């Protein structure tokens, strides 16, 4: 009997269920998903009343709103209900408690986009065990796209497995970045990185939500991502998405310490090596270096 036609993306779910690898979420991920959706409701309910939102300047070019705080409170409440002994590291609340298990939370990644009604922002939640991300959830509440991953179990978009793109060089690549608002002195070197990359790549994107950017790399929508000075909550869940989708994450020097220093490259292993080759010499230059003039 002739087999029914199935689009390529449907074969992922079909074959997974046939061979016993159905993307059934782990209970801990379900809790994180529930927490992310509660935060997403807070965010979406505020989109049509942006003029009434109270905004706080945390630092130069760094803002938080009462929506960030309310969304974070919803996440923490949900996680605390299920895991009262776990520690928390949240962008607005800081570090809470001590445990080998830590929930790393960015309640609204892309606050500047949100405050302008630019529909590209996300909720990011990751569970770390002894400093290593083991579960991750990123929710785009506008598009209702839910990215989930667990260490050793793959990465998924709305319960369909995702895989990183396999482009092996910068030629024709679509690369994404973010500008270091916390480290404006790094803008000069980064602009030179961009110049070097664009000499070979197809194009560049800058969207304003590192968590979503990393998920887009995991899903093959972007070929690579790099950024200076990220915080753990910006990339905790996204790093796991990339790894579980078959990619790698490294620092600008090709190192594994990016969760501490925040300088991150994400791509498949071959393209990541090409990115390191391009970025490494420039990342060590100072903004005042004559070579950057």
At 197, which CATH number? 3.40.190.80
What SS3 class is residue 261? helix
The two structure tokens encoding residue 189: 């070197």
Least confident segment among 3-17, 92-106, 162-176, 228-242: 3-17
Please give the model's pTM, rounded to 2 decimal places. 0.86
145 pLDDT higher than 80: yes
Judgement on whether residues 185 and 264 belong to the same structural domain of the protein: yes
pLDDT for residue 66: 87
Residue 188 CA to residue 174 CA, distance in Å, equals 21
Judgement on whether residues 101 and 193 belong to the same structural domain of the protein: no
Cβ–Cβ under 8 Å, residues 130 and 136: no
pLDDT digits (tens, 9 = 90+) for 233-264: 999 999 999 999 999 999 999 999 999 999 99
Note whether residue 237 is domain-resident. Answer: yes
pLDDT for residue 275: 96
Domain holding 194, by residue range, is 174-287
Judgement on whether residues 207 and 269 belong to the same structural domain of the protein: yes
Q: Return the H-helix or E-strand segment holding 44.
A: helix 27-46
Note whether residue 6 is domain-resident. Answer: no
Note whether residue 62 is domain-resident. Answer: yes
Average pLDDT over residues 127-135: 98
254 burial via Cβ count (<10 Å: 0-12, 13-18, 19+): middle
Judgement on whether residues 70 and 182 belong to the same structural domain of the protein: no
pLDDT for residue 99: 97
Judgement on whether residues 61 and 114 belong to the same structural domain of the protein: yes
Judgement on whether residues 67 and 44 belong to the same structural domain of the protein: yes
Judgement on whether residues 149 and 236 belong to the same structural domain of the protein: no
- Taking all residues of the chain, what is their mean pLDDT, rounded to a whole number? 86
Judgement on whether residues 34 and 154 belong to the same structural domain of the protein: yes
Judgement on whether residues 148 and 246 belong to the same structural domain of the protein: no
Average pLDDT over residues 221-240: 96
What SS3 class is residue 83? coil
Higher model confidence: residue 47 or residue 106? 106
Note whether residue 293 is domain-resident. Answer: no
Judgement on whether residues 153 and 217 belong to the same structural domain of the protein: no
Task: Look at the chain and report how many structural domains it folds into.
Answer: 2
Note whether residue 213 is domain-resident. Answer: yes
Cβ–Cβ under 8 Å, residues 233 and 104: yes
Q: In which order are the strands placed within the sheet that holds 101-109?
A: 94-96, 87-90, 101-109, 122-129, 132-140, 145-150, 154-157, 160-161
pLDDT for residue 53: 67
pLDDT for residue 291: 39
pLDDT for residue 243: 98
Judgement on whether residues 36 and 145 belong to the same structural domain of the protein: yes
Judgement on whether residues 37 and 137 belong to the same structural domain of the protein: yes
Average pLDDT over residues 123-132: 98
CA dihedral 127, 36, 87, 108 (to 10 degrees): 100
Note whether residue 17 is domain-resident. Answer: no
Boundary of a domain, candidates 161, 188, 219: 161
Least confident segment among 12-26, 38-52, 186-200: 12-26
Average pLDDT over residues 2-8: 38
130 pLDDT higher than 80: yes
Boundary of a domain, candidates 129, 161, 193: 161
User: If you count them, how many residues does the chain have?
Assistant: 293
Cα distances from 55 to residues 116, 175, 179, 198, in angstroms, run 12, 31, 21, 36
């Amino acid at each position: 009997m002739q087999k029914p036609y199935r689009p390529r993306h449907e074969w992922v779910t079909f074959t997974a269920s046939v061979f016993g690898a159905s993307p059934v979420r782990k209970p801990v991920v379900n809790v994180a998903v529930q927490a992310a959706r509660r935060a997403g409701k807070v965010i979406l309910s505020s989109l049509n009343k942006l003029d009434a939102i109270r905004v706080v300047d945390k630092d130069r070019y760094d803002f938080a709103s009462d929506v960030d705080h309310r969304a974070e409170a919803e996440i923490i409440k949900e996680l605390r209900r299920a895991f009262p002994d776990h520690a928390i590291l949240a962008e607005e609340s800081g570090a809470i408690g001590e445990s080998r298990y830590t929930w790393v939370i960015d309640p609204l990644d892309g606050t500047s986009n949100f405050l302008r009604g630019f529909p590209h922002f996300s909720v990011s939640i990751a569970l770390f065990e002894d400093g290593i991300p083991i579960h991750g959830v990123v929710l785009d509440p506008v598009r209702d796209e839910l990215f989930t991953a667990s260490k050793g179990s793959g990465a998924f978009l709305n319960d369909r497995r995702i895989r990183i793109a396999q482009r092996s060089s910068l030629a024709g690549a679509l690369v994404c970045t973010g500008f270091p608002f916390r480290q404006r002195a790094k803008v000069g070197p980064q602009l030179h990185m961009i110049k070097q990359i664009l000499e070979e790549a197809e194009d560049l994107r800058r969207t304003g939500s590192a968590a979503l950017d990393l998920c887009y790399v995991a899903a093959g929508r972007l070929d690579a991502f790099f950024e200076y000075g990220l915080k753990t909550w910006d990339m905790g869940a996204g790093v796991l998405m990339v790894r579980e989708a078959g990619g790698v994450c490294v620092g600008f020097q090709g190192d594994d310490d990016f969760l501490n220093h925040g300088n991150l490259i994400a791509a498949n292993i071959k393209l990541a090596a090409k990115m390191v080759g391009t970025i490494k010499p420039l990342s060590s230059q100072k903004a005042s270096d004559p070579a950057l003039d």
